[in-house]
Amino acid sequence: MKDELEKRAVMLGEYILQYKATVRSAAKEFGVSKSTVHKDVSERLKYINKPLYFDVKKILEINKAQRHIRGGFATKNKYAKMN
């Protein structure tokens, strides 16, 4: 069980790093919850693969800083489709 969790954490980290993915998109791709992705890459990965953890952390910080912009575009597109 522990090996599976570690493998998943590394796979999620590599996916986020490779595609500059959000937690939401990684969760959808791997079929797990956003909470699981967040816990894997922000807590477990720190003890499994520190360099990968720091790289993923940078991407997640960028995504967090941009989320209000993405939300604005999503709302704009939603109402544009309605009209």
pLDDT digits (tens, 9 = 90+) for 1-43: 789 999 999 999 999 999 999 999 999 999 999 999 999 999 9
CB 37 within 8 A of CB 30: yes
* Whole-model pTM over 0.85: no
SS3 of the chain: helix, strand, coil, percent, to 5: 90, 0, 10
Residue extents of the structural domains in the chain: 2-82
Residue 77, pLDDT above cutoff 90:
no
Confidence of residue 78 (pLDDT cuts 50, 70, 90): confident
CB 63 within 8 A of CB 23: yes
What pLDDT shows up at residue 41? 96
